[in-house]
Structure 1
Amino acid sequence: MTDRLTVDVSLDQGRAYSILIGRGLLDEAGVRIASLGARAAVIVSDSNVAALYADRLRTSLEAAGLRSGLVTVAPGEASKSYATYAEVCDGLLAHKVERGDIVVALGGGVVGDLAGFAAATLRRGVRFVQAPTSLLAQVDSSVGGKTGINSPLGKNLIGAFHQPRLVLADTATLDTLSEREMRAGYAEVAKYGLIGDAAFFDWCEAHWAGIFSGGPERDEAVAICCRSKAGVVVRDEREDGERALLNLGHTFGHALERLTGYDSDRLVHGEGVAIGLALAFRFSARLGLCPGQDAGRVANHLALAGLPTSLAAVPGGCGDADALLDAMAQDKKVRDGALTFILARGIGQSFIAPGIDAAEVRAFLTDELLAG
């Protein structure tokens, strides 16, 4: 097999796994999944991704002696619902998935979260493998074991921590992404530099075009992001502390997704994150924590990559400051009713800021809405 970039997630109690990164990994999936000791592997995918890659993946699985099956869902964030979760569980059971078998999540972040949650709860827990096909999923959501679905009251409020046994990030699948989805995934790439690696943000400013065009920068960026996330996950698997930093921009972003009804025609997750990153830095600057020039640099770079950076960029609007604040009140980082934000002292200097005054947030959002 071709040499691959490998990132190890060194969890204890036999739960360690590897993230493999490179072009053509789907064709190697059967051999690699068979090595986990399974007899069957059932794929969960959305209809768009399945049309592109499901037959190829099934051929690889069956060539390795594995019985295979396929469960498909509609594309888009709306599939992270109670109803679709039930359909996936029933579909896996219809394929006679046993505890020793493997569920393979083939797709972007929605499929990974949904299939992972189904695997976490089916027969009280079956093994699963992530085969992410979007940039966002390859650099972020496929790693770390967060699985779940959305509630009408908020994003990702129902779920479980359930680590995959293997992540196969075939970077050739990114060639078929739309420009919009590529940009959306790039927001999560830039996020890793903004959290705690100013040198990586510098690198992104110099090399982002190569990530988009599919040059060697693409695999390198995926590996750097996975390495960063793996380190955080090993130190704080269940988000009791440091792992919350990975939600930089997400308190704002998740609220925007809820207020747009998880309608991907209006706003996809990465676009919400991009707006959230810009808002987090502007809010930090407003509080006197972060230089204004850093906030401007963040917004300028995201805009250069084609991403939205303001509330006015949300198609159809996003309500008033009170609606935004109410949506944020369902964020998973809320403690004793008080808002917790991830803020920044500068690029690469993010920190957890509990107990932020709601009046400060409301005033900031009001001004952002007025700014247009």
Structure 2
Amino acid sequence: MSDTTVIRVGDDYDVIIGNGVLDQVVAQVPDGAQRVLIVHAPVMADTARRIASAAADSGLQAVVELLPDAEAAKTADVAVRLWSVLADAGFTRTDAVIAVGGGATTDLGGFVAATWLRGVAVVQVPSTVLGMVDAAVGGKTGINIPEGKNLVGSFHPPAAVVCDLDLLRTLPQADLAAGLAEVVKCGFISDTRILELAADPVAATDVSGAVLPELIARAVQVKAEVVAADLKEAGLREILNYGHTFAHAIEQVSGFSWRHGDAVAVGMVYVAELSRRAGLIGEGLVDQHRKALQSLGLPTAYPVDGDAGERWSALRAAMGRDKKTRGSTLRFVALTGLGAPTRLSGPDEAMLRDAFDAVRA
């Protein structure tokens, strides 16, 4: 793989992946902009200042705003504060937002850009594996409300996504592994070569090696192809939600204390167990899920303290609010084989509970 990989998402924008590509961020701001709002996660303060300095050097007025950490950034209160900042600074429809941080930061930054004056440009600068392969690519933006994750949002493709792999060097190992859950997901639903590469956990988690950049690029390619064909999730794009129905329920019930990737890992095992019970796949593919995820240090079981029935009731209610649900019918992305996604609609309630018992620790 060359030092820099550029993946085109349809005819809309580029995802730039490589080491030392941070200096390309300001160049991705559309012509005509006079101001940029740079929102950043707490750990990205130095990076945000560096981008702000480059913006000023290019003649842009840069406004820098610190966000709360992780999912705490994705609230209506934070969005309102940023809208006020944009208003006070005189941002117009030709100006832009730059979001620097993990998936929560890019989700929030994209949502603010989508809603300010009914849409201004956003350049996404993800700083985590999860952000690079999932949140920042595809144009999904959103915030959380107490009733569920990402229930308020908009489709708003970015002007560009700049993935500087150097930003991963300070990423905690647990966060790096959590991001790889979304990479492995792409292996199960599409590019099976990903599973082969991820089978070496040392190489897959080495930020200085050649395997991790290839894994990131392959996962981005999978998402780019799906999004280009179905931006607004009318059909095909739903496959990117493999494992997410149960994962979002875990996050909501836990008060968003779970890492997203950890929840997705358990969610994939859950839907694999559900798929087996529905007669779609065999035990071997279920086992492959557990082995692939465990080798990367990801959880494959959901711990339950106390009444399992009460916990299941909370999770089941949360799944009922999933975006794929139609009426009262639960719909899951499932598999009929490796790299062969399908949809499973309205599985029997006993089957749903049985799959939960199979992943319950």
After TM superposition, is the score higher than 0.5? yes
- Structure 2 residue 91 is matched with structure 1 residue 80: no
Distance (whole Å) between structure 2 residues aligned to residue 283 and residue 261 of structure 1: 25
How far apart are 1:19 and its partner, in Å? 0.7
Q: Is the 8 A contact 2:22 2:164 kept in 1?
A: yes
Aligned equivalent of 2:290, options 299, 306, 316 = 299
- Structure 2 residue 43 is matched with structure 1 residue 41: no
- Structure 2 residue 5 is matched with structure 1 residue 5: yes
Q: Structure 1, residues 8-47: CA drift from partner, whole Å, max 9, x if none? A: 0124xxxx111111111112322343x6442222101122
Partner of 1:354: 345
Aligned equivalent of 1:269, options 243, 260, 265 = 260
Q: Which runs of 4+ in 1 moved over 4 A?
A: 313-319
Q: Is the 8 A contact 2:36 2:60 kept in 1?
A: yes
Partner of 2:123: 129
Q: Is the 8 A contact 1:256 1:318 kept in 2?
A: no
Distance (whole Å) between structure 2 residues aligned to residue 185 and residue 84 of structure 1: 24
For structure 1, which segment, 216-225 or 169-178, has the greater mean C-alpha deviation from structure 2 after superposition? 216-225
Distance change (3 Å), C-alpha of 1:315 and 1:302: farther
Secondary structure at the aligned position of 2:125 is classed as strand
Q: Is the 8 A contact 2:148 2:318 kept in 1?
A: yes
Q: Is the 8 A contact 1:109 1:141 kept in 2?
A: yes
How far apart are 1:134 and its partner, in Å? 0.6
How far apart are 1:74 and its partner, in Å? 0.9
Distance change (3 Å), C-alpha of 1:96 and 1:76: same
- Structure 2 residue 12 is matched with structure 1 residue 21: no
Aligned equivalent of 2:204, options 196, 211, 220 = 211
Q: Structure 1, residues 60-118: CA drift from partner, whole Å, max 9, x if none? A: 22222221111111102122111111112222323322210110011111011111111
Secondary structure at the aligned position of 2:199 is classed as helix
Q: Is the 8 A contact 1:339 1:357 kept in 2?
A: no
For structure 1, which segment, 88-97 or 116-125, has the greater mean C-alpha deviation from structure 2 after superposition? 88-97
Partner of 2:190: 196
Distance (whole Å) between structure 2 residues aligned to residue 108 and residue 147 of structure 1: 13
Partner of 2:335: 344
Distance (whole Å) between structure 1 residues aligned to residue 181 and residue 351 of structure 2: 26
Distance change (3 Å), C-alpha of 1:248 and 1:38: same
User: What TM-score does the superposition give when structure 1 sets the normalisation length?
Assistant: 0.91
Distance (whole Å) between structure 2 residues aligned to residue 188 and residue 312 of structure 1: 21
Number of residue-to-residue matches in the alignment: 359
Distance (whole Å) between structure 1 residues aligned to residue 33 and residue 348 of structure 2: 51
How far apart are 1:315 and its partner, in Å? 12
Aligned-partner residue type, residue 143 of structure 1: V
Q: Is the 8 A contact 2:273 2:355 kept in 1?
A: no
- Structure 2 residue 159 is matched with structure 1 residue 165: yes
Q: Structure 1, residues 148-190: CA drift from partner, whole Å, max 9, x if none? A: 1111111100000011011111111011111111011010011
Distance change (3 Å), C-alpha of 1:310 and 1:198: same
How far apart are 1:250 and its partner, in Å? 0.4
Distance (whole Å) between structure 2 residues aligned to residue 137 and residue 314 of structure 1: 31
Partner of 2:279: 288
Aligned-partner residue type, residue 152 of structure 2: I
Distance (whole Å) between structure 2 residues aligned to residue 80 and residue 335 of structure 1: 25
Aligned equivalent of 2:325, options 322, 331, 334 = 334
Distance change (3 Å), C-alpha of 1:203 and 1:315: farther
Distance (whole Å) between structure 1 residues aligned to residue 19 and residue 218 of structure 2: 16
How far apart are 1:232 and its partner, in Å? 0.4
Any gaps of 5 or more consecutive residues in structure 2?
none
Q: Is the 8 A contact 2:197 2:215 kept in 1?
A: no
Distance change (3 Å), C-alpha of 1:8 and 1:301: same
Secondary structure at the aligned position of 1:311 is classed as coil
Distance (whole Å) between structure 2 residues aligned to residue 185 and residue 128 of structure 1: 22
Q: Is the 8 A contact 1:71 1:92 kept in 2?
A: no
How far apart are 1:252 and its partner, in Å? 0.6
Distance (whole Å) between structure 1 residues aligned to residue 286 and residue 227 of structure 2: 27
How far apart are 1:318 and its partner, in Å? 10
Secondary structure at the aligned position of 1:18 is classed as strand
Aligned-partner residue type, residue 112 of structure 2: A
How far apart are 1:268 and its partner, in Å? 0.9
Distance change (3 Å), C-alpha of 1:286 and 1:120: same
Secondary structure at the aligned position of 2:303 is classed as helix
Distance change (3 Å), C-alpha of 1:313 and 1:223: farther
Q: Percent identity?
A: 35
For structure 1, which segment, 303-312 or 215-224, has the greater mean C-alpha deviation from structure 2 after superposition? 215-224
Aligned equivalent of 1:183, options 177, 186, 189 = 177
Aligned-partner residue type, residue 202 of structure 2: A
Secondary structure at the aligned position of 2:268 is classed as helix
Distance change (3 Å), C-alpha of 1:217 and 1:36: farther
Q: Is the 8 A contact 2:42 2:66 kept in 1?
A: yes
Aligned-partner residue type, residue 335 of structure 1: R
Aligned-partner residue type, residue 296 of structure 2: A
Partner of 1:102: 96
